[in-house]
Amino acid sequence: MTSNQTKVYWTVFTVSDWKIYVAATKRGICYVGSPNQPFDELEKWVNKKIPLALLVQSSVHLQSATSELTQYILGERRTFTVEKDLIGTDFQQAVWQASAEIPYGETRNYSEVAEQIGRPNAIRAVGTAIGANPLLFIIPCHRIVAKNGGLAGFRAGIDVKKMLLQLEIKNNT
């Protein structure tokens, strides 16, 4: 390891029959994996987004993040307070910020997000940016649906998206 090599701390935790890998840099959480996916998903993302990073297993560095994610998935938390290190283009960052502003238990469609960021014709690009969201659950891209209200794609799968939306609706009353 060189002295300026970026360390990416990672751990895996289990909640509701889901095994989830999470990772963080010294600036904050940078990745939340899809439930029950292999370590390879995290490793590929790190190699693409933070080339030459050193992966270091450390549950201590991710204790706050795993605690908040567990609370959210169990319906005991609506917002996240952990520091984030979002790695993406300016456009992706704008889409993710708009997604983060969608209130718990509510949804928006891709067109509404495109309008919100001032790019009304970029609906497909919004969908692509949402698909690249590295912080599942924390950046609530599951709250973005098709214009007809249908559950369009989701990195963790439509079943997970449906479960998260139902959880939020149930806990939002």
Taking only the tens place, the pLDDT of each residue in 72-101 is 999 999 999 999 999 999 999 999 999 999
CATH code at 124? 1.10.10.10
Q: Rounded to an integer, what distance in angstroms lies between the CA atom of residue 133 and that of residue 142?
A: 10
Tokens coding 106: 């509510």
pTM equals 0.91
Q: Rounded to an integer, what distance in angstroms lies between the CA atom of residue 43 and that of residue 50?
A: 10
161 and 97 fall within a common domain: yes
Model confidence band, residue 25 (pLDDT cutoffs 50, 70, 90): very high
Model pLDDT, residue 150: 80
Helix (H, G, I), strand (E, B) or coil at 143: helix
Domain presence at residue 78: no
Q: Rounded to an integer, what distance in angstroms lies between the CA atom of residue 155 and that of residue 33?
A: 9
Catalytic entry in 141, 144, 145, 164: 141
User: pLDDT by residue (tens digit) across 142-167?
Assistant: 999 988 878 877 888 888 889 899 99
User: pLDDT by residue (tens digit) across 130-143?
Assistant: 999 999 999 999 99
| Catalytic status, residue 30 | no
